[in-house]
Structure 1
Amino acid sequence: MGSSQSTETEFEYGKPWRDTPWRKKDYLEKTLKEFELSDPNIKYARILVVGQIGSGKSSFINSVNSVFQRRITNEALVNKTTDRSTTFTKLYKTYHIRNGQSVMPFVLSDTMGLESEDLHGIHTEDIVKAMGGYIKERYKFNPESSITPEDEGYRSNPSLQDHTYCLVFVMAADKISLADDDNIYEKVKYIKSKADELEIPQVMILTKPDDACPLVNKDLRKIYTSKKIKEKLKEYSEHTGISVSHIFPVKCYHEEIDTQNDMDVLILRAFKHIEQMANDALRLKCNENKNSE
């Protein structure tokens, strides 16, 4: 008994350090499905998804759609191999969030993965351009150089519809430490600084929490009693400047054949936060645009 209590104290807090509405999946889903943008002239608020290679960007996009479809979806192609050394996504692609046969007023735009080495993975300036709406759909990223106005995929006059209203960083919790990957941190901090200049809010999705913590692997509901997961949130916050309150550990769908309540709740909770921040940014942007006319 004493050994068991000692083990629990070592790896787990006595009570959750963040409240989670485990029994309110239907309420969360209903609230999000009924969400309306602050400006009726904007059809979709764009959410830009970026992250380190192998972190699960595309899996997160698929998981959001899976929750609302109530079945496993795979619109955003995912690398099924165990090789996480090179990026899989090459094109700039936008995905609608489907609510049955209709679509919700938000879109998720996927990007090439970040890599620590220069001339590999997405060029950070391409992410900056995407935030401003300058990159067209299906543009093929070039790791060696950023897009220019002379490129076919460049949009010269982006509309409010093309702008990004929330930037979502996707990072993996199962990394032992990123101490040896300072270049990734530097790239994330640079992208964040540019998003701050554009007044675009940022959220971080922390994937693979079950691979990072044995407690969570056995019981997903221990995600907010796990000391390991809280340490990871603090680590990423300290190295990137993103507030802990804006970091959400989420288990994405990748081997399941049916959706699961607890996974859905974590995804919905995170997406509700993203939606609200995007809508606030959209309101400010539209007001500024009206005042400048």
Structure 2
Amino acid sequence: MGNEKSKQASTPPQECAQWRRMTWGNTEKERLMKEIRNLKPPGEEWSEFRILMHGQISAGKSSFLNTVGSIFQERIVSRAIVGVGSTSVTKKFTPYRLRDKKTGSHLPFALCDVMGMETRDGQGTHPEDIISAAKGHMKDGYEFNPASPLKHDPSEKPPVKDQAHCIIYIVAADQLSILSDNILDKMKRVRNELNDLGLPQVVLLTKVDAACPLVKEDLCNVYKSSYIKQQIQRCSQKIGIPITHILPVTNYHEEISLNDDIDVLTLTALLQILHFASDRFENVLQGFC
């Protein structure tokens, strides 16, 4: 019986029928880049989408930002410092605006980076700080204090341009099974508060290549992997985000040159996020929030 269990535990993830349609290759990469460049919020008073990223330390939050920057700069970049230890290296609230090498202009979005979440209370970003940033109360450069979240006037309502237009939860696929109850509770606290605001919320499931040998062998297998499909389903159950809002990616972490497969997967996720952010603006224009 013991040998049978061991054999089952070591069984490699199985390939299954493709469960999401996906187009790969450089032509698709160029198409996605063009569509993202041409996006803009509906309404003349808004100039950019503000995307707020948060998640557990070392899940790949800052790495995702650098991966997006690398694609549009056509080289590996390091705008955000990436941590590899047990504490967050992000200390300040920073909305990164990325420049497009082809046009020389900034892209139509800001990726807002915050301190990573930690398991113990009093360490890492406080859930109230994430909520404050999403509502638009947090100024650029605000320095996080895990023991004392930002205080603000609850009656104040910042303009829509200062609010987050989509929230990204960064979750590592190879750490999902050991995600602590405390981290999950913090994420759910943020989610419940932001649900009341009608803010679209997305999970980026990072490190899918580290989680699944089939995907590590060929990233194009990501939507053929039964294991990644199961991880997305588990993630939906744990955090309460619909499966359609959970997007697998892998970030640049050891490469020194660009890879079309990484780029296409990243751009596909980014475009979906920006579409959700655009839906937020449409709801504002129609007076729904």
TM-score normalized with structure 1 length: 0.89
**AA paired with 1:166?**
C
**AA paired with 2:161?**
Q
Please report how far the alpha carbon of residue 157 of structure 1 lies from its aligned counterpart in structure 2 after TM superposition.
5.8
Please report how far the alpha carbon of residue 195 of structure 1 lies from its aligned counterpart in structure 2 after TM superposition.
1.3
Match of 1:13 in 2: 15
Match of 1:166 in 2: 166
Please report how far the alpha carbon of residue 206 of structure 1 lies from its aligned counterpart in structure 2 after TM superposition.
0.8
Hey, what's the Cα distance between the residues in 2 that align with 1:234 and 1:176? 11
Match of 1:103 in 2: 106
Hey, what's the Cα distance between the residues in 2 that align with 1:107 and 1:166? 11
SS at 2:166's partner residue? Answer: strand
Q: 1:55 aligns with which of 53, 59, 71?
A: 59
The 10-residue stretch of structure 1 (107-116 or 62-71) with the greater mean CA deviation from structure 2: 62-71
Please report how far the alpha carbon of residue 26 of structure 1 lies from its aligned counterpart in structure 2 after TM superposition.
1.4
Hey, what's the Cα distance between the residues in 1 that align with 2:68 and 2:44? 23
**AA paired with 1:110?**
D
Give the direction of change, closer, same or farther, for the CA distance of 1:183–1:255 in structure 2 (3 Å limit).
same
Hey, what's the Cα distance between the residues in 1 that align with 2:215 and 2:205? 13
Match of 2:135 in 1: 132
Match of 1:34 in 2: 38
Match of 2:177 in 1: 177
Hey, what's the Cα distance between the residues in 2 that align with 1:287 and 1:145? 37
Match of 2:122 in 1: 119
**AA paired with 1:35?**
L
Please report how far the alpha carbon of residue 10 of structure 1 lies from its aligned counterpart in structure 2 after TM superposition.
6.3
**AA paired with 1:18?**
R
Please report how far the alpha carbon of residue 158 of structure 1 lies from its aligned counterpart in structure 2 after TM superposition.
2.4
Match of 2:256 in 1: 257
**AA paired with 1:90?**
K
5+ residue gaps, structure 1, are 1-8
TM-score normalized with structure 2 length: 0.90
Hey, what's the Cα distance between the residues in 1 that align with 2:30 and 2:275? 18
Match of 1:192 in 2: 191
**AA paired with 1:171?**
V
Match of 1:22 in 2: 24
Equivalent residues of 1:165, 1:281 under 8 A apart = yes
Match of 1:3 in 2: none
Match of 1:87 in 2: 88
**AA paired with 2:98?**
I
Please report how far the alpha carbon of residue 270 of structure 1 lies from its aligned counterpart in structure 2 after TM superposition.
0.2
Number of residue pairs matched by the alignment: 275
The 10-residue stretch of structure 1 (41-50 or 65-74) with the greater mean CA deviation from structure 2: 65-74
Hey, what's the Cα distance between the residues in 2 that align with 1:70 and 1:287? 38
Hey, what's the Cα distance between the residues in 2 that align with 1:145 and 1:276? 34
Equivalent residues of 1:45, 1:282 under 8 A apart = no
5+ residue gaps, structure 2, are 1-10
| CA RMSD of superposed structures (Å) | 2.0
